[in-house]
A and B are shown apart, each in its own frame.
Chain A
């Protein structure tokens, strides 16, 4: 597992560096973050979904949660990898 991770990290760095070399010599232009220039960021809120739909959605979501208490609340623990970062 550790060896796999190490090998992938090595190949990832190689790939990214080779891609950086490919862009050498190209003109420095303004960055395009998104292809559309007019993002509809002030969209209307719309109507809330019905009580029945919300209840059903909640039921469906609870059924795929890895852990929940008797009231249907999501139960999580601090992930072990948080400390690694």
Chain B
């Protein structure tokens, strides 16, 4: 993956590497590798010109933002003016964004150079990266296996060294799952911390934009760039800005780390062996490891899917092919159609209370259980995904596919934050430790992730 984010930023700031050279290297690498990996749907034709503008500013000694000269990939469900936001679907294959999402405005202000739009599961409906209308993404570190999803292209691009940092989105685990399978770092921020303006939603009450990066420093840097109140959004948290990257090295002595026996009940032994080893390392670094109760953890999955189906059905009603794009039901893949059909069924008057209302009650239960557990500890750690990624093209039933989200979707249901960092490997395939934190507990989550990263 080359040098780390901190070293690369230093090289750019000291003039050892120009932004233009950095972008050219990224474009060369994409050209060389992306025919096989399929991490990008579209490249930014203005990337080199934008890099030259950054170089000019650097030469003039102008104040530059935190991402100055870094190459950034954007998931194809976030609006970037002038580039296509396809959601990896034929529905929006010709939709050229007429505006920048709020996070894109912040990335540009910080000097980040957008190199292109990343592949993904169609409308973020998938946990494998296989449902894209532009073809499945391969896993660069475990070739022939799924990279995870739905931010499949973002994780694969980072793992293959095609760009420095990516923005993904996480509705039920879509940043953390591919981060785990590809051995990179991913953060799902607290609900409302990062502006959602300009995101083409899957399920509005769960979606969060977040970073994927080769290291914890890169993820922290991007998070502090995009986080913060947006007064134009009614669900944006009015929280103070935090400098996460400055506090990564504090260490974790006396941090209380929770684990739950539920994790091993739901997880394959090969994955669990790696996770147990990582927890042991955290203990050796001075963390106090304690057991916490999450009695209904496994019930989250069904509640998550019911709410997501209903919200996705509602969100897709605008894709009727009149103002832009094509009518979704006429061109979408099977998984998107299945979720629309499930949402239609749930949203009927006679089914609403039995399914949707009930799932909202389970959400309350999950919030309560995670709240009680996190009152006793600073973070909860466990596996990100309960099994190793399957081989590309393997036929799985919907239930088997949804099972990838068993350990990530509870976080979205509870509205808290979580991050994934590589814990080790099983059968040569990366396994990610999931660090789950309190509402706005990103600083502690990142510190724990960095502590583990530093001992590898």
Chain B residues whose C-beta falls within 8 Å of the C-beta of A13 in the assembled complex: 345
Chain B residues whose C-beta falls within 8 Å of the C-beta of A74 in the assembled complex: 322-323
Q: Which of A25-71 contact B (CB under 8 A)?
A: 26-36, 39-41, 43-44, 46, 57, 60-61, 63-66
Q: Which of B311-361 contact A (CB under 8 A)?
A: 320-327, 329, 334, 337-338, 341-342, 345-346, 351, 354-355, 357-361
Chain B residues whose C-beta falls within 8 Å of the C-beta of A61 in the assembled complex: 98, 324
Chain B residues whose C-beta falls within 8 Å of the C-beta of A64 in the assembled complex: 94-96, 98, 324
Known: A4-B334, A74-B323. A16 touches B95 (CB 8 A): no
Known: A9-B341, A15-B399, A43-B231. A79 touches B323 (CB 8 A): no
Our pick among B231, B238, B337, B345 for the contact of A44 (Cβ within 8 Å) is B231
Chain B residues whose C-beta falls within 8 Å of the C-beta of A16 in the assembled complex: 306, 309, 342, 345-346, 351, 355
Chain A residues whose C-beta falls within 8 Å of the C-beta of B341 in the assembled complex: 8-9, 12
Q: Is the CB of B95 within 8 A of A39?
A: no
Q: How far is the CB of B168 from chain A (nearest CB, A)?
A: 20
Q: Is the CB of B322 within 8 A of A79?
A: yes
Our pick among A27, A33, A65, A76 for the contact of B205 (Cβ within 8 Å) is A33
Question: Which residues on B are within 8 Å of A, measured CB to CB?
Answer: 81, 94-96, 98-99, 191-192, 205, 231-238, 296, 299, 301-303, 305-306, 309, 320-327, 329, 334, 337-338, 341-342, 345-346, 351, 354-355, 357-365, 367-368, 398-399, 414-415
Chain A residues whose C-beta falls within 8 Å of the C-beta of B362 in the assembled complex: 23, 26
Q: Is the CB of A8 within 8 A of B338?
A: yes
Q: How far is the CB of B396 from chain A (nearest CB, A)?
A: 13
Q: How far is the CB of A56 from chain B (nearest CB, A)?
A: 8
Q: How far is the CB of B90 from chain A (nearest CB, A)?
A: 14
21 A-B contacts, Cβ less than 8 Å apart?
Answer: A8-B334, A11-B398, A16-B306, A20-B302, A22-B302, A23-B299, A23-B361, A26-B361, A32-B360, A32-B367, A34-B205, A34-B235, A36-B237, A40-B235, A65-B324, A66-B321, A66-B322, A66-B326, A74-B322, A79-B320, A81-B327
Chain A residues whose C-beta falls within 8 Å of the C-beta of B338 in the assembled complex: 8, 11-12, 15
Our pick among A19, A39, A66 for the contact of B235 (Cβ within 8 Å) is A39
Question: Which residues on A are within 8 Å of B, measured CB to CB?
Answer: 4-5, 8-9, 11-13, 15-16, 18-20, 22-23, 26-36, 39-41, 43-44, 46, 57, 60-61, 63-66, 74, 76, 79, 81
Q: Is the CB of B361 within 8 A of A19?
A: no
Known: A8-B334, A23-B302, A26-B296. A33 touches B360 (CB 8 A): yes
Q: Is the CB of B345 within 8 A of A23?
A: no
Q: CA of A60 to CA of B293 in the docked complex: distance in angstroms?
A: 53
Q: How far is the CB of B111 from chain A (nearest CB, A)?
A: 22
Chain A residues whose C-beta falls within 8 Å of the C-beta of B398 in the assembled complex: 11, 15
Chain B residues whose C-beta falls within 8 Å of the C-beta of A57 in the assembled complex: 98-99
Q: Is the CB of B231 within 8 A of A23?
A: no
Q: Is the CB of A20 within 8 A of B354?
A: yes
Chain B residues whose C-beta falls within 8 Å of the C-beta of A19 in the assembled complex: 302-303, 305-306, 355, 359
Q: How far is the CB of B93 from chain A (nearest CB, A)?
A: 11
Q: Is the CB of B96 within 8 A of A30?
A: no
Q: Which residue, of B322, B326, B363, has the highest number of chain A Cβ atoms within 10 A?
A: B322
Whose C-beta in chain B lies nearest to the C-beta of A27? B365
Q: Is the CB of A20 within 8 A of B299?
A: no
Additional pairs, 9, CB under 8 Å, beyond known A31-B364, A79-B320: A4-B334, A5-B337, A9-B341, A19-B302, A19-B305, A26-B296, A29-B364, A40-B231, A76-B323
Known: A16-B342, A64-B324. A46 touches B231 (CB 8 A): yes
Whose C-beta in chain B lies nearest to the C-beta of A34? B205
Q: Which residue, of A26, A33, A40, has the highest number of chain B Cβ atoms within 10 A?
A: A40
Whose C-beta in chain A lies nearest to the C-beta of B339? A12
Q: Which residue, of A31, A32, A64, A74, has the highest number of chain B Cβ atoms within 10 A?
A: A32
Chain A residues whose C-beta falls within 8 Å of the C-beta of B345 in the assembled complex: 12-13, 16
Whose C-beta in chain B lies nearest to the C-beta of A60? B98
Chain A residues whose C-beta falls within 8 Å of the C-beta of B305 in the assembled complex: 15, 19
Whose C-beta in chain B lies nearest to the C-beta of A7? B334
Q: How far is the CB of A51 from chain B (nearest CB, A)?
A: 16
Chain B residues whose C-beta falls within 8 Å of the C-beta of A60 in the assembled complex: 81, 96, 98-99
Chain A residues whose C-beta falls within 8 Å of the C-beta of B351 in the assembled complex: 16
Q: How far is the CB of A21 from chain B (nearest CB, A)?
A: 8
Whose C-beta in chain A lies nearest to the C-beta of B358? A23
Q: How far is the CB of A60 from chain B (nearest CB, A)?
A: 4
Q: CA of A62 to CA of B342 in the docked complex: distance in angstroms?
A: 34
